[in-house]
Chains A and B, each alone.
Chain A
Amino acid sequence: MDLSLAIFVQIIAAVLLIIALMVGNAVVMVYMERKVAGFIQRRPGPYEVGPWGTIQAICDSMKLLAKQLYRPGNVDLILYYLAPVLAFFPVLLLFLPIPFGPWLTALHINEGIVLILAFAGLGVLSNLLAGWASNNKFSLLGAARAVAQTVAYEIPMILALLAVVFLSGSMDLKRITEQQGQWPWEWNILLQPLAFFIYLVSLVGETNRAPFDLPEAESELTAGFHTEYSGMGFALFFLSEYANMLLVSFVAAVFFLGGYKGPIADGFWWLFIKAYAVMFFMVWIRWTFPRVRFDQLLNLNWKWLLPLGLLNLWATAIIMKIFL
């Protein structure tokens, strides 16, 4: 009884902290994205508001809060208002199994990765609802593209993570972290480079980031499925997108980059550093490459990433059987 109460309290506290983490992450990511975009484009990015523009993101979120919630006529009311909420809340669940530190896991379950992968699919549902409910052909097209893309890119992701699961023999995120060492040459990335590469590509595809950002292709579909949202609805979509990015970066850090283990002292700081390095990489490629066309995107997935993932899995299994 006490134990389950303790776990219950632990989960509640974790959820609150995760909400704080998501919001804080959005603020930091908005700033990082705009600054990195600025410097790549030889301009400074935000720097008027606050020292070097650090308060810009907060001011933007206050602006979004204060905006009029404009709803076009003929929208499906329930779905229209449900979609951003549905985008935001499931992501909370996904942060629970992640081991932030040696003793900082919110929900230590044996099948952590299954929980994450299962609920990651809920995000696409919200995209679909938003696209349909907006009563707008551009949104509909964007939503249809988003569904096809997200469903497609989950599979190579699973295959890449499965290869690491083969290596460590368990789906528990903490075990996977513990089996990697402190130094970079002991991380899983050296043992599974192809899986890491496949995971990186499907990471970008899963979170709808450039160069795979067709659902929100700004120059073709004028913001795609969230065209008709303004103010808080848009903010929630944005927040959930960044939270999704953070989540998959955390998973990448845990599976391939050693999690919270690091050279000097193990702790949650290493996890954050690695996750933000992966996010920085995602921001970098967003501002470098043009967009991939939709059929090419799916081609890439079904014809290249999936066979490569299977090949990797097969090779891992054979090598493990023979040598281990």
Chain B
Amino acid sequence: MTGCSLGFINPLSVLENPGTTAGDFYARNFEKKAQPGRVILNLGPQHPSTHGVLRVLCELDGEYVARCEPILGYLHRMHEKMGEVKTPWQFLPNLGRVDYLHPLAWNWAFVGAAEKLAGLTVPPRAEWLRIISCELNRISSHLLWWGAFVMDLGGFTPILYAFEEREKINDILQIITGSRLTMANFRFGGVCADGDARFFKLIQEFIPYLRERLKMYQGLVTDNVILRRRLEGVGPIDVDLCQRYGATGPILRAAGLPRDLRVDYPYGYYDQVELTIPTGPVNDSFGRYLVRLAEIETSLSIVERALKVIPDGPIIMEKAPKVSWKLPAGESYMAVEGARGQINVHLVSDGGKTPYRVKLRAPGFSNLSLFAEAAKGTLLADAIAILGSLDLVIPEIDR
């Protein structure tokens, strides 16, 4: 794919002859509907503020975005194909790489789908450990989103503060998963490692520490007048727009619809956890910002509750599937609530060593689809702010 990465198109020629300039297939197609006097800009695949390798073709009327089109595929790594040639166990590390910011949710989706298919039950301690680790991972994903978002807007410091907290979460999760980024401790029938005394002690210390730090974030960033003026009123996404594109997650919740899979269709032991879904008062970028910060607090309270009620016991079921386990024939479908929205895995197996089809539905794909409509007519800086507030992770979009 020969994308032109920084818009190296002679401006004059675009003005005079739309449709005949250099550029690849996408740019030429895009230019056909361009009106004269407008500039076609390629927020190219290499860009500091498209999170990952995303290309957005924009038609600019001065500073206003008249039309824009995101182009994907630069990071397609064929995970679903790998699902078809690898055994279920061998596919487990793949899920960590699909979305490396919330890998445990993707793990849960796939492992849950396999467990549904094979009718495996997970022991209680494992269920609670799953909840604890998944929620901690969600917190770290939101922290990174927060830092990267403010960095897009020009404040280079908060991301480093967010990474301090992430380091602590990574220390905690390293104890049970062994990794700091692409975590994979879910196994068919439970989890693979138990938390020791140090694990629980670190979590107990972490919860009040993060609450203190969230106050600091409030003072430094959330109350900051510059940030507010950048985000308030920018990119309103209402429920109708979300539903037309299938967007889920904090975007939908900020739009006003309280949909959360952990409450509507609880999986694991989420039905034993009281959850208040934060919905935004406003559906603009600032509302999405506030919803995600509120979700951090929600996750903290879930972890607190889990720590209180976690029982002792085995962490994996009796006669757990071994590495060479084959899925029984059939199909199953598992949906979990990821940090970005609803993660679905549709697993079809014909009884052989490898699944017949593993369909991974990434929330970012639907969330990105509404960007073209949401960013129409906004300033370029606002389009960047909307893109950041959607919390996109391109690797999961391209899979």
Once bound together, how far apart are the Cα atoms of A81 and B8, in whole Å?
19
Decide if B150 is an interface residue (CB 8 Å cutoff).
Answer: yes
Q: Nearest-CB distance from A256 to chain B (Å)? A: 24
Q: Nearest-CB distance from A148 to chain B (Å)? A: 10
A-contact bits for B202-239, CB 8 A (1 contact / 0 none): 00000000000000000011001011011000000000
Contact A211 B226 (CB under 8 A): yes
Contact A219 B155 (CB under 8 A): no
Chain B: which residue is nearest A132 at the CB level?
B11
A interface, size bucket: 20 to 34
B interface, size bucket: 35 or more
Contact A219 B152 (CB under 8 A): yes
Contact A40 B384 (CB under 8 A): no
Interface of B is mostly: mixed
A-contact bits for B157-190, CB 8 A (1 contact / 0 none): 1001100100000000000000000000000000
Choose from B153, B160, B164, B379 the contact partner of A291 (Cβ within 8 Å).
B153
B-contact bits for A274-293, CB 8 A (1 contact / 0 none): 00000000000001111111
Decide if B6 is an interface residue (CB 8 Å cutoff).
Answer: yes
Decide if A220 is an interface residue (CB 8 Å cutoff).
Answer: yes
**Residues from chain A with Cβ under 8 Å of B6 in the complex:** 136, 138, 222, 227
B-contact bits for A194-221, CB 8 A (1 contact / 0 none): 0000000000000000110110011110
**Residues from chain A with Cβ under 8 Å of B200 in the complex:** none
**Residues from chain B with Cβ under 8 Å of A289 in the complex:** 154-155, 224, 226
Chain B: which residue is nearest A287 at the CB level?
B157
Chain A 49-97 interface residues, beta-carbon cutoff 8 Å to B: 72, 74
Once bound together, how far apart are the Cα atoms of A42 and B382, in whole Å?
30
Once bound together, how far apart are the Cα atoms of A241 and B164, in whole Å?
32
Once bound together, how far apart are the Cα atoms of A135 and B7, in whole Å?
10
Decide if B326 is an interface residue (CB 8 Å cutoff).
Answer: no
Chain A: which residue is nearest B230 at the CB level?
A293
Could you list some 10 contacts between A and B, CB below 8 A? A41-B156, A135-B8, A138-B7, A222-B48, A287-B157, A289-B226, A290-B154, A290-B226, A290-B227, A293-B382
Query: Which residues on B are within 8 Å of A, measured CB to CB?
Result: 6-11, 39-41, 47-49, 60, 63, 150-157, 160-161, 164, 220-221, 224, 226-227, 229-230, 379-382, 384
Query: Which residues on A are within 8 Å of B, measured CB to CB?
Result: 37, 40-43, 72, 74, 135-138, 140-141, 210-211, 213-214, 217-220, 222, 227, 287-296
Instruction: Give 8 closest A-B pairs by Cβ, nearest first.
Output: A291-B154, A290-B155, A290-B153, A219-B49, A41-B160, A290-B154, A137-B7, A219-B48
